Amino acid sequence: MTAIQEGISEREISGVFLQYQYHLRKAESVKKILELSAAFHLQLVDSVSAHRLEDKYSPMVQRCRAYIREHISEPITVASVASAIGYSRSYLSHVYRGETGDTVYCFIQQEKLDLAKQYLLSFSYSVTEIWKELGFCSQSHFTTFFKNLTGQTPTEFRQYSQTAETVNASEINTAEAMPPSYMWLAAENDVSEEHQKTLNDLNDYAENIGYKQESYFLYCVKKGRVRELEMELDDPQFVKTMSTLFENSRTLAYRTFIFMLPQIHSAAVDGGVSMKSASQLYTDFFERAHGADVPELLRLNREAFIEFATRVANEYIT
């Protein structure tokens, strides 16, 4: 939310999250996930810094660039941008090039290309969905555009990226990938000895019921089953178990929440919530977790499940 308040567009934030989500699916340890989470927020910080650098441009150029970013999913042209912000095409082109050293057309192309790459990396969108989302008139038009700028077709870019990630992962770590469960934090060994009992308890809980329980929670988010989630999350035995497991380790409680949050986000997106809406919610919960104690982190975990599921339910209603 801070990035949005600083003027970063929701679309740009969503694009950053798409990249984060893609790499998150390849992560093989909690340590890697935490590194990715840190990188995600550092990238948002960089976006805020870059946005502030926009102040060096004249109001006209700033308006031009902001309009393009906001309407990048439309089939915009230099002429349509100029008309929208109240200048002639020739005057806008002249001033823009004088201040940035580039053309308005090139900026439009680069913004569309960057967003196209982000969508392709997410694997949540088909190529057809992407070219429609970016305002191209046909798939062949999109393919020609993408290949002219990258030397690859969109499909080739996606396949190459997936292959590169697989190769890198096999070179770095040949261990079996961690199951998508926050309970498997217990498999980590990069915590202090004082947390060993908590780790053992987490491991026992995960093997007994935790993994199945969490999978069910995520399923309820995806289907928008808010009432079922509330009943499970508010079950006295579950509440007591979570409080007992994490009462002596704020660090593990925080790691658990940060590990779980992207999965809840993904379940909501799979359930029909827009990436923009889900990313806003994700950022809000992430910021609220910073500095929170164990009871608050447990409350946030519950709220995250319920709030994302509610968004999915509202999608079904509308």
pLDDT of residue 28: 54
- The domains located in the chain, with CATH, are 2-171 (1.10.10.60), 182-317 (no CATH)
Farthest CA pair distance, the chain: 70
Predicted TM-score (pTM) of this structure: 0.46
**pLDDT of 49-76, one tens digit each?**
455 556 678 999 989 988 998 888 888 8
Q: Which of 26, 37, 49, 108 is nearest to 75 (CA)?
A: 108
Considering only 29-38, 195-204, 219-228, which range has the smallest mean pLDDT?
29-38
Instruction: Decide: 217 and 305 in contact? Cβ < 8 Å.
Output: yes
The residue type of 288 is R
Q: Which of 201, 180, 162, 195 is nearest to 267 (CA)?
A: 180
Q: Average pLDDT of the chain?
A: 75
pLDDT of residue 179: 38
- Cβ neighbours of residue 191 under 8 Å, at least 6 residues apart? 199, 251, 252
Q: For residue 12, is pLDDT > 80?
A: no
pLDDT of residue 173: 39
Q: For residue 160, is pLDDT > 80?
A: no
Q: For residue 297, is pLDDT > 90?
A: yes
Considering only 74-78, 225-229, 313-317, which range has the smallest mean pLDDT?
313-317
- Enumerate the H helices of 86-225 as residue ranges: 89-100, 104-122, 127-133, 139-150, 154-172, 196-205, 211-223
Question: Mean pLDDT over residues 278-289, rounded?
Answer: 84
**pLDDT level of residue 81 (50, 70, 90 thresholds):** very high
**pLDDT level of residue 108 (50, 70, 90 thresholds):** very high
Q: Which residue has the higher pLDDT, 23 or 307?
A: 307
